[in-house]
A and B are shown apart, each in its own frame.
Chain A
């Protein structure tokens, strides 16, 4: 935590380097007048500028936009989308359902926790390889200590090709953005994992992390940029549920509860 002296130093007006609103006059966004200097930026470019303080060129933006597009699956069964759909089913609000679904996307076997973990691993592995260590040793050590590699394999089908990777690599190559060192590292890791006893292919999380890192994003920048990555698939699931009768999205009957706990008992049986 923070000492009382540090808190006292921050007591009083909020000092901000990211901006503020001056209603009726103007708004400042990271040192620029939003309506004068940044008015022509796309939303994605502004979003990235807010995270990194950098502006990206058209090819880079096309790639970063495609990363979001290629994994927008309006499949209600997916755990995060299911939350948005169930909110629709109970006639909750769109913001509540989708905000919860976005929060749920920060999962440990897919989504946010994997996204930052593989970006972190690639960053550290590159630094250590640059310093002379062997990638195969780093991968083996990680597999030994973590029993898996984030961004490789998928929960259900670990050796299947990820259907998103081919189209994204094609687009990245066309834009001249598929030759970076992190992408090469990610491919080398796949070669090691496929050849070894682990038998896991690179999935979308590793590919997108590598591409982002090659654009100069840090692991945390990448994590923040990826927050809305599943968003586009969610409103359709919410709306689809609104189109069904209330409560009729994935209804469960009593017989679908498979009880495995203690048998019936009474309080005085202790």
Chain B
């Protein structure tokens, strides 16, 4: 086949500019790396076995390895966020994908999509971090996020700040004694009164990630990443158990044409659990 081949200049122009990653090619194969460097460190020659996965995550995003307190703080966040539990909408979404036998990637995509939202999801963490990092966030027109949280980082779903949120905050405050996390810990009740809602885990995460030097965009991304393990585990569990053990839920179709024209059909309004299973 007669194909024009790219010149070296064209390839240079069509490269990826990055401060994160560098590679040395095999001497006889430009498409395989013999060494890979992350922020200057030899990944496979030196970092393997020497740094934790959370340290490596910090290095990738922040450009330097964390100090011991930051390293532990990130590990605490990773554990606190790893599994929101099966009642959480993002995990529920992953389970709905798993129970139907969908692909592994779609299970995680479902968790990411649902866990991205501005109410309890990664966008709320973004909004909370943006408010912490700039005192006057710009007014938002109608955009792709339908209903931003009125007080990001605080949630009136709870009547008082839940124990897991307070436990996470206390652990992180011990490691991050200066800054937003400590301030949240010291003034939690006053801030809750000011916002009219109890502190939520998103607020603790936003404060801690701000203290660790992450931008709102990096915080949003970390929140998405760190919540995936639970989604994966629950999705696979439901896949193994099968749809008969997974709720389909009853439904009332309020605007049913048959019920409008024939009241005898009113009993059709409530579908039995599992009735509509495809």
**A: which residues have CB within 8 A of B?**
1-4, 7, 12-17, 19-23, 25-26, 28, 30-33, 37, 92-93, 95-96, 99-100, 103, 106, 112-113, 116-117, 119-121, 124, 145, 219-220, 223, 251-267, 270
Q: Does A26 lie within 8 Å of B16, measured CB to CB?
A: no
Query: How many residue pairs between the two chains, A and B, have CB atoms under 8 Å in the bound complex?
Result: 175
Q: Does B157 lie within 8 Å of A220, measured CB to CB?
A: no
- In whole angstroms, what is the CA distance A30 to B138 when docked? 37
B16-55: CB near A (< 8 Å → 1, else 0) gives 1111111111000011110001011110001100110000
Number of contacting residues on B, CB 8 A? 67
B15: A residues at CB distance < 8 A:
252, 255-258
Does B69 reach chain A (CB closer than 8 Å)? no
Closest-CB distance, B87 to chain A (whole angstroms): 11
Other CB < 8 Å A-B pairs besides A220-B142, A259-B21, 12 of them? A4-B157, A19-B253, A20-B251, A106-B144, A113-B144, A120-B141, A255-B30, A257-B16, A258-B18, A259-B18, A261-B40, A266-B46
- Interface SS, A side: mixed
Closest-CB distance, A217 to chain B (whole angstroms): 13
A100: B residues at CB distance < 8 A:
109
- In whole angstroms, what is the CA distance A152 to B226 when docked? 38
Answer whether A254 and B157 are a contact pair too, CB < 8 Å, given A1-B200, A26-B258, A263-B40.
no
A103: B residues at CB distance < 8 A:
109, 113
A253: B residues at CB distance < 8 A:
11, 25, 30-31
A106: B residues at CB distance < 8 A:
144
- In whole angstroms, what is the CA distance A44 to B20 when docked? 45
- In whole angstroms, what is the CA distance A261 to B18 when docked? 7
Answer whether A1 and B155 are a contact pair too, CB < 8 Å, given A96-B109, A117-B143, A257-B21.
yes
Closest-CB distance, A80 to chain B (whole angstroms): 15
B276: A residues at CB distance < 8 A:
20-23
A32: B residues at CB distance < 8 A:
257
Answer whether A113 and B275 are a contact pair too, CB < 8 Å, given A256-B14, A257-B22.
no
Q: Does A17 lie within 8 Å of B254, measured CB to CB?
A: yes
A267: B residues at CB distance < 8 A:
41, 46-47, 50-51, 65
Closest-CB distance, A2 to chain B (whole angstroms): 6
Q: Does A99 lie within 8 Å of B16, measured CB to CB?
A: no
